[in-house]
Amino acid sequence: MVKVYYLMHSSFVVELMDRYLLFDYFNRDDLSAYVQYRGGLPEFDIEKTLYVFSSNGRKDHYTQDIFNIPGVRKFILSKDIKINKGIVEKERVQFVKPLHKYEVDDMKIETLRSNDVGLAFVISVGDFNIYFAGTLNWWNAEGRGELYGEQYGREYRRYLKPILNRKFDIGFVPMDGRMGEDGYFLGMDYFIKHIDCDTIFPMNMWGQYEWINRFKTRPDVANLKERVVDIDRENMIFVIED
C-alpha cells in the first residue's frame, strides 16, 4: 500500500513502506497574492526515512524552509537552486542536473530536461516507479500565438522520449488553467496517451481544480480518464493499493 498526500499546488508526499518522498514543498505565504493555499506538511512517522526533492528554485516549487523540516535524511535539489552557505550540512544535499542518473541510498534517480526551468524526476524505489514533472509541460499560454504552443509541444515530446517505453506506478503532471481552454490539457493529454502510468496526479493547478473534471469529460480520453486522480482541495490523502 502506498499513500499520496496532496499538500498544495505541485507539492506532494509519497509514503512508501519505509520512507517518505516530499516533492516541491514551498512557503504558501509566498503565493498568497495569487492563491490562498491551506496545505501543510503531514505528521511524519519518525521511524521512516524522509527525502526531500525540489525540481527547481521558483517560489511555487521551493523554499529554504525545507531545511527546517526535522528528520530529513537527504535533500535532492535541482542544480539551479542556490542555498545560503551553512544552512545545511553539505553531505545531506545532492544537487542534480538534467539528463543524469544518480543513486541516493537504495533509490535510483534519473533526471529529464524541463522546457521551462529546473528538471523532471524519474525515481525508482525497488520496483516502484515515480515520475514527477516539475515544470516539464506542453505550455501553450492563451494569447501567445500558435508558434508558442508548437515550440513547447516539440520540446515536450522530445524531452519525454527517454521514458516512452517505461512503466510508472504514479506520475505527477501539470494541468495549468492559466493556459486557457486550448492549452490547459495538452501536457496531460500527451502524457496519458503515450506514457504507461497507472495513477496520475494533476498538479500546478493554482487552486483551479475544476479543470480536472473538464479534462476527464473529453471524449478522446474516455477510456483513460480513470487514471487521473480527482483533487478538489489541499491536504487530501490518497491510498493506492498494490
Residue-wise pLDDT tens digits, 89-134: 999 999 999 999 999 999 999 999 999 999 999 999 999 999 999 9
Pairing of strands 101-104, 93-96: unpaired
Using alpha carbons, select from 115, 86, 82 the residue that is nearest to residue 98.
115
SS3 of residue 215 by DSSP: helix
Q: Is the pLDDT of residue 146 over 80?
A: no
Q: What is the dihedral of CA 59, 7, 105, 161, to 10 degrees?
A: -70
CA distance 228 to 205: 14
Count the neighbouring beta carbons within 10 Å of the beta carbon of residue 153: 17
**Cell numbers standing for residue 15:** 509514503
Count the neighbouring beta carbons within 10 Å of the beta carbon of residue 28: 20
**The pLDDT of residue 143:** 63
Q: What value, to the nearest 5°, has the Cα angle with vertex 102 and ends 97 and 108? A: 125
Q: Is the pLDDT of residue 149 over 80?
A: no
Residue-wise pLDDT tens digits, 15-68: 999 999 999 999 999 999 999 999 999 999 999 999 999 999 999 999 999 999
State the maximum Cα–Cα separation within the chain, in Å, rounded to a whole number: 53
Alpha carbon of residue 231 to chain centroid: 14
pLDDT exceeding 70 applies to what percent of the chain? Answer: 98
Q: Is the pLDDT of residue 170 over 90?
A: yes
CA distance 127 to 6: 23
φ and ψ of 44, to 5 deg: -85, 140
Cell numbers 530529513 correspond to: 72
